Amino acid sequence: MAIFEGAGVALITPFKDNGEVNYDKLEEVVEEQIAGGTDAIIACGTTGEASTMTHEEHLDVIRYVCEVTKKRIPVIAGTGSNCTETAIYLSEEAERLGADGLLVVSPYYNKATQKGLMAHFTAVANSVKIPMLLYNIPGRTGVNIQPDTIAALCRNVENIVGVKEASGNFSAIATLMNLADGKVDLYSGNDDQIVPLLSLGGKGVISVLSNVAPKQAHDICASYFAGDVKTSARLQLEAIPLIAELFREVNPIPVKAAMNLQGKGVGPLRMPLTEMEPQNQEKLKAAMTAYGIL
């Protein structure tokens, strides 16, 4: 059984002006997501700025999200690292803190071979009992998890259950699903590719868009699963201009700007990320207005 089906939000982490995690605001955004129909919360991923958190902050955010969510929907904790021992530590702690699943990115910068990726992911998965998703995003990590590697991990490691695919390479994704033998839960890592990926057997999306439009992202998936592909495709296409603006600058710069434009007060980014350029904010604002969320 999949950890979730539908639209899981790649949740931002709100910060105070002094850079500290804003836990009161974090509770607000989690509650807004649940009320908006989000199917899962993904805490401390790329969008959550986990790469600039200390280990203590990282785990405390996971703990807090689990406490606020109270098992109403699954919480998936981002626990990846380019150090296998660190990924194991974060994963073990996330399980202890109540996470329902893990999202583990391929090791970045050190560019492991496929053999190294197999060893890394296997070691992390074997350290916990909860299900784990791989995260393939070669544009950020510098390494691609090959389809046969993903399929082999899902076949041979009991609690590696699927992958968040953000490569954008549909030929590779189709090859993966041909090899999958029903053992790979596939999630889109790109909001502009939800419906095409669902058509290949995907379970849903791990979504940046959901931060500002949870119901709409949920409905793209729900319509598809209900057999109304025409409505699902329409909703996908209607969201394309906004999605483009949400990625005009590197994620999560635009989505935090968008939430602040909505009056959510999620605060600044942590360096080295900087605030969105004013001319790009105007384009974002126009897209949000056209989409009806501003």
Catalytic-role residue among 25, 164, 203, 264: 164
- Helix residue ranges per DSSP H, the chain: 23-35, 55-69, 84-97, 114-126, 138-141, 147-156, 170-180, 194-199, 214-225, 229-246, 253-261, 278-291
CA–CA separation, 151 vs 153, rounded Å? 6
Catalytic residue among 25, 89, 129, 135: 135
- Phi, psi at 6, each rounded to 5°: 115, -145
- If you ran DSSP here, which 8-state letter would residue 207 be given? E
Cis link prior to 272 (omega < 30° from 0)?
Answer: yes
What stretch of H or E contains 247?
none
For residues 35 and 21, give the distance between their C-alpha atoms in angstroms, rounded to a whole number: 22
Length reported for the chain: 294
The answer to whether 187 is a known catalytic residue is no
String of DSSP letters for 35-103: HTT-SEEEESSTTTTGGGS-HHHHHHHHHHHHHHHTTSS-EEEE---SSHHHHHHHHHHHHHHT-SEEE
Q: What is residue 15's DSSP assignment?
A: B
Token reading at 270: 């942590």
Task: Please give the Cα distance from 294 to 287 (Å, whole number).
Answer: 9
Measured distance CA(139)–CA(166) in Å, rounded: 8
- Return the ∠ at Cα 222 (arms to 13 and 193), rounded to 5°: 65
Q: Is 164 a catalytic residue?
A: yes
Please state, in angstroms and rounded to a whole number, the distance separating the CA atoms of residues 192 and 89.
Answer: 34
Q: Which residues are catalytic?
A: 135, 164
